Structure 1
Amino acid sequence: MELHTSEPMPETEFGTANLSDLYDLQKLYAALRPQDPSYREGEADSALSNVLAQEHIKLIVARLDGQVVATCMLALIANFANVGRPIGCIEHVITAEHCRGRGIGRSMLAYALDLAWQHNCCKVILLSGVQRDEAHRLYASVGFDGDRERGFVIKAPE
């Protein structure tokens, strides 16, 4: 069993993804969502290009020694309530297994929240699988309250 420190790694850099991050992102997503279908040749490049082109979507990455080791997506949703302030939605929070417990995920979420507040979001929501207790502790550690509101999900019909 590998031991991790609770201190964030000082050489970790946070920012938004670019096309050269494709391979690292695919590895992270495959680890989180192994049941997802695989992209066919060329589709992943196109999908990532599409996401990166969206002004209201921030695909956030944490880089360690030039490699993407964590990611999450912040979507800024236009809103009529709260005098038009957007709602932030964070999805797909993933940290490479060998980097967990080092503060990288927590620092990345803090970076995402800072971006949301810079965009004047009235709140940030995050959904997580009910069985992911370790992730829930991470989310609570940066201020998310799992008991404040209730989320509901419906999946697309197959």
Structure 2
Amino acid sequence: MSDIVIRHATADDIPAIVALLADDPLGAQRESPGDLAPYRAAFERLAGDPHQHLVVAERDGRTVGTLQLTVIPGLSRRGATRSVVEAVRVHADERGSGLGTRLIEWAVGTSRREGCALVQLTSDATRVDAHRFYERLGFEASHLGFKYHL
């Protein structure tokens, strides 16, 4: 894994990130790799927000993973800052290589440096393998999530 570089994403990374997001059964239903305009607009919003960390993992110049980390200041838990991990994706060729662990370790380390007291994430109920992965890394299934689509 020493040949993996985790770095902040640039606008040039958008096509590779979207391809990763679309490369699973759920993502294939939600993402539109043929139309990058909404992703470019979203990237501009992310790039202008210091609480957002969109990263890619590269091996030999090829994007093989991504995740987004959002740092959220708050009043609850005695004014604790927390982070939220979103959109963790590892290229199909890299699954099982330890790259997912490396990405989550990056997110936890960055959260510590940002002064977060808690790292949280959600995972679709159908992603049973992902649930085992997160539990193996020390995450606990502690809440029931809800969504309201607008």
Per the normalisation by structure 2, the TM-score is 0.89
Q: What letter matches 1:121 in structure 2?
A: C
CA distance in 2, matches of 1:60, 1:86: 20
Q: What percent identity do the matched residue pairs reach? A: 25
Shift of 1:81: 2.4
Q: 1:104 to 1:90 in 2, by over 3 A?
A: same
User: 2:73 touches 2:80 (CA, 8 Å); kept in 1?
Assistant: yes
CA distance in 2, matches of 1:13, 1:19: 17
User: 2:22 touches 2:31 (CA, 8 Å); kept in 1?
Assistant: no
Counterpart secondary structure, 2:84? strand
Asked whether 1:156 is paired with 2:149, we answer yes
User: 1:60 touches 1:112 (CA, 8 Å); kept in 2?
Assistant: no
Q: What letter matches 1:10 in structure 2?
A: S
User: 1:106 touches 1:141 (CA, 8 Å); kept in 2?
Assistant: no
CA displacement 1:12-59 (0-9 Å, x = unmatched): 111211111111101001114111152746333222222122111111
Give structure 1 stretches of 5+ with no counterpart.
Answer: 1-8
CA displacement 1:90-117 (0-9 Å, x = unmatched): 1111111110000001001000110001
Asked whether 1:59 is paired with 2:54, we answer yes
Number of aligned residues: 147
Give structure 2 stretches of 5+ with no counterpart.
Answer: none
CA displacement 1:116-158 (0-9 Å, x = unmatched): 0111111011100122121112212221112xx213121314x
CA distance in 2, matches of 1:98, 1:41: 24
Q: 1:37 to 1:28 in 2, by over 3 A?
A: closer
Q: 1:151 to 1:45 in 2, by over 3 A?
A: same
Structure with the bigger RCO (C-alpha within 8 Å, sep 6+) is 1
Asked whether 1:15 is paired with 2:11, we answer no
Counterpart secondary structure, 1:122? strand
Counterpart secondary structure, 2:56? strand
Equivalent residue number for residue 27 of structure 1: 19
Equivalent residue number for residue 115 of structure 2: 120
Q: Please state which structure has a larger fraction of its residues in helix.
A: 2
| Structure 1 residues 1-158: aligned runs within 5 Å | 9-32=1-24, 33-38=27-32, 40=35, 42-146=37-141, 149-157=142-150
TM-align CA RMSD:
1.7
